[in-house]
Amino acid sequence: MERSEGEESEAESAIKPGTPASSPGAKWYKTFKHGSSDEDEEMDIKYEVVYKQREACCTGRCGVWHVIFPHGYKEEFVEELSLAWPMVVTFVFTYMFGPVAIMFCGHLGTAELDAVGLANSVINVLGVSIGAGMTTACDTLFAQTFGSTNKKRVGVYLQQGVIILSLLCFPCWALWVNIERLLILVGQDAEVSRLVGEYLMYFLPGLFFNFQFEIVAKYLQDQNKVFPTMVTGLVGNTVNAACHWLFVLQAGLGTRGSAIAQVIGYAVMLFSTLAYIWGSGLYKDTWDGWTWECFEDWGTFIKLGVPGLLMICIEWWSFEIGTILTGIVGKTELGVQSILFQLENFVYMVPMGIGVASSIRVGQALGGADPAGAVTASRVALSMVWVVALVMAGLMVALRWYFPLAFTNDPKVISLAADAIPVLAIFTVFDGTAAVCNGILRGAGKQTIGAIIIFVCYYIIGLPISIPVLFLTDLTVKGFWMGLAIALAVESLAAFIVVQCFTKWDKEVLKAQVRAGVIDEAAGDDQQVQERFQSDSEAEYSDYHSESEANRDSASPLLHTRRSRSRTRRPRSRCATQKRYMSPYTVLPDREVPEIKHGQLSKGQLIFRRTLAFLFSFALLGAGLAIRFCLPK
């Protein structure tokens, strides 16, 4: 059976070294590994294509481009772009909840405007940021497990996330019910504090809906389903705006109506997303029903979620600290800080979308035992965000006199803001790099490293520079952002070095297989597992040759000649790119998933421990309610 030049090129283009088991190109490898083709000639041709691809790389014809992007650039760029831009739109929709509330309540009076703005800050700092941080565990677990052969375990992690995030609401609520007392304690106006406390009491269910939406949104996004959350975000924002018009302006409920409107908006987003999951049948590949496994091994989720929480909150809280401190300097400086903060929040949506796309692609590649794919995904994402960040920085500088006009007509505030925006533009470039590197770290399950880097950069470097410059120099707000830009420069450089120089991708593949339940954690250390999988791969290769030897003898003379020549020229070593990023998993077929046993807890012990967790959460809320209603203000 002879092939034309075009046929050979098409076959070769269907497969790349390091093709993950879940990709279309993996069919070529599986056919070779199993010897399952109906036509032996076709099987031999596929084997030859595999060999030629590897030989081309090992003989140095892969080039510098392949060294930088082992799986190529174009395909990965298209994949990440298709994930990133819908998520950017989703983030914008989610972000608009607070500004819509401020816009409607600004017509009620100064106290109401201040109260709603402060209430939404409290919701973000002591609520949304905590949920967003804990759900970074899902960035790792959902993506890696979905990329593996054990997709049903995604449903187990989803159940764990729903339960753990539900319990996390209780300590947040315990703080919220006493927020009026806390604000008065730190010197806030009594009337504003009362309105903030009332706002948060009505918003209590909204925190639960927000947390659960974060979970199910990541459940969809990590399966490459990003458009449903974009649509539900649009629907939720529309409902939020309509309810604000109805409750605040028409029904006269004031700030209470704003809180109720946001609760309804978040509820609509959650239930419409759940309706899509149920109606589309998307859950069938990843959901095997409620199971006792969701109460086991919470340590994996918490060990990833708590550092992820610190990654989000440390950075988020530093900006809130800046807003509080600039308010001490003066009202003009506070206005400038508010403009810069809102502009940065809006611009950050694009790098954040690319960062989440990178976490998904890196996680899926590691779960699919494709370290070269993880490297490619990380570098393509970085190249994308650098281009986007430079373009946005240029636009910010060019339009620096126009952006402040959207917020104020005060000439002094406009002048100071325009003077500080070039610094913000530099900040944006570093912030984009940091966003993508942090996304890569989340995809690889390295939230702890990210939290350490962010803490050092913001609280050891950034704020110690920013705060003295804010109070002791004429730079004020501009100087504050200079300090943050220095912190972001160090953070982005450190995270980049960790990701590109010190991450051992083969070992991250092993960890991903353990998290996905493909490899039992008790199987042994990394080296033993590698040797076991390598021996399995060699055994399958040997079985293929021994079982199909008779069929080879009857193949056409031309193919027999090619196969003989291929076997004699089969290289014994791989090029530097393959040595660094390839692993024995890359060409392995699907194998039976072993039963995972986490710890030695009996069902009784498990029930006892999880009951304690539930009771502790309820006790925190009970203590908060007791303080609110039993202690004098």
Number of CB atoms found within 10 A of residue 9's CB: 11
**What is the structure's pLDDT at 529?**
53
**What is the structure's pLDDT at 531?**
53
Mean pLDDT confidence for 580-599: 42
Q: First vs last Cα of the chain: how many Å apart? A: 89
357 and 244 in a common domain: no
User: Cα–Cα distance between 412 and 415 in angstroms, integer?
Assistant: 5
Winning range, highest mean pLDDT, from 11-20, 67-76, 174-183 = 174-183
Report yes or no on 484 lying in a domain: yes
Given a cut of 90, whether residue 85 has pLDDT beyond it is yes
| DSSP 8-state assignment for residue 572 | S
Domain count, the chain: 3
194 and 103 in a common domain: yes
Q: What is the mean pLDDT of the chain?
A: 81
Q: What H or E segment, with its residue span, contains residue 290?
A: none
Given a cut of 70, whether residue 288 has pLDDT beyond it is yes
376 and 505 in a common domain: yes
- Is residue 442 within 8 Å of residue 136, measured between CB atoms? yes
- Is residue 240 within 8 Å of residue 234, measured between CB atoms? no
Given a cut of 50, whether residue 438 has pLDDT beyond it is yes
445: pLDDT confidence band, cut at 50, 70 and 90?
Answer: very high
270 and 309 in a common domain: no
210 and 166 in a common domain: yes
Using DSSP's 3-state secondary structure scheme, residue 14 falls into coil
Given a cut of 90, whether residue 432 has pLDDT beyond it is yes
461: pLDDT confidence band, cut at 50, 70 and 90?
Answer: very high
628 and 515 in a common domain: no
228: pLDDT confidence band, cut at 50, 70 and 90?
Answer: very high
Higher pLDDT, 569 or 198: 198
pLDDT tens per residue across span 492-534: 999 999 999 999 998 999 999 989 888 766 553 545 555 554 4
Given a cut of 60, whether residue 614 has pLDDT beyond it is yes
Short-list 353, 347, 435, CA closest to 397: 347
Report yes or no on 562 lying in a domain: no
Which residues, including other chains, have CB under 8 Å from residue 395's CB and lie 6 or more apart? none
Which residues, including other chains, have CB under 8 Å from residue 572's CB and lie 6 or more apart? none
Handedness of CA 283, 289, 290, 293 (dihedral sign): negative
91: pLDDT confidence band, cut at 50, 70 and 90?
Answer: very high
Given a cut of 50, whether residue 60 has pLDDT beyond it is no
Given a cut of 90, whether residue 57 has pLDDT beyond it is no
Report yes or no on 236 lying in a domain: yes
**What is the structure's pLDDT at 62?**
53
453 and 535 in a common domain: yes
320 and 262 in a common domain: no
**What is the structure's pLDDT at 102?**
87
pLDDT above 90: percentage of residues in the chain:
58
The type of residue at 470 is: L
Please tell me the least confidently modeled range out of 103-117, 151-165, 192-206: 103-117
- Is residue 400 within 8 Å of residue 336, measured between CB atoms? no
Mean pLDDT confidence for 421-448: 96
260 and 334 in a common domain: no
Mean pLDDT confidence for 218-241: 95
**What is the structure's pLDDT at 12?**
40
- Is residue 432 within 8 Å of residue 387, measured between CB atoms? no
394 and 312 in a common domain: yes
Report yes or no on 549 lying in a domain: no
- Is residue 563 within 8 Å of residue 44, measured between CB atoms? yes
User: Cα–Cα distance between 320 and 341 in angstroms, integer?
Assistant: 9
Higher pLDDT, 389 or 559: 389
User: Cα–Cα distance between 268 and 209 in angstroms, integer?
Assistant: 9
**What is the structure's pLDDT at 52?**
36
Short-list 537, 513, 445, CA closest to 150: 513
Report yes or no on 277 lying in a domain: yes
Mean pLDDT confidence for 426-449: 96
Report yes or no on 491 lying in a domain: yes
285 and 310 in a common domain: no
Mean pLDDT confidence for 213-225: 95
pLDDT tens per residue across span 336-367: 988 998 899 999 999 999 999 999 999 999 99
**What is the structure's pLDDT at 34?**
39
The type of residue at 538 is: E
**What is the structure's pLDDT at 425?**
96
pLDDT tens per residue across span 124-171: 999 999 999 999 999 999 999 999 989 999 999 999 999 999 999 999
Report yes or no on 395 lying in a domain: yes
Mean pLDDT confidence for 436-445: 96
Domain that holds residue 245: 88-290+614-633
User: Cα–Cα distance between 82 and 633 in angstroms, integer?
Assistant: 53
User: Cα–Cα distance between 159 and 141 in angstroms, integer?
Assistant: 12
Given a cut of 70, whether residue 21 has pLDDT beyond it is no
25 and 124 in a common domain: no
What is the b/e burial string over 268-297, where b = at least 16 CB atoms within 10 angstroms of the residue's CB? bbbbbbeebbeeeebbeebbeeeeebbbbb
Given a cut of 50, whether residue 172 has pLDDT beyond it is yes
Given a cut of 60, whether residue 31 has pLDDT beyond it is no
Report yes or no on 71 lying in a domain: no
297: pLDDT confidence band, cut at 50, 70 and 90?
Answer: confident
User: Cα–Cα distance between 218 and 307 in angstroms, integer?
Assistant: 18
pLDDT above 70: percentage of residues in the chain:
77
Mean pLDDT confidence for 420-437: 96
Given a cut of 60, whether residue 23 has pLDDT beyond it is no
Using DSSP's 3-state secondary structure scheme, residue 222 falls into coil
The type of residue at 61 is: R
Which residues, including other chains, have CB under 8 Å from residue 495's CB and lie 6 or more apart? 433, 434, 437, 438, 441, 450, 453
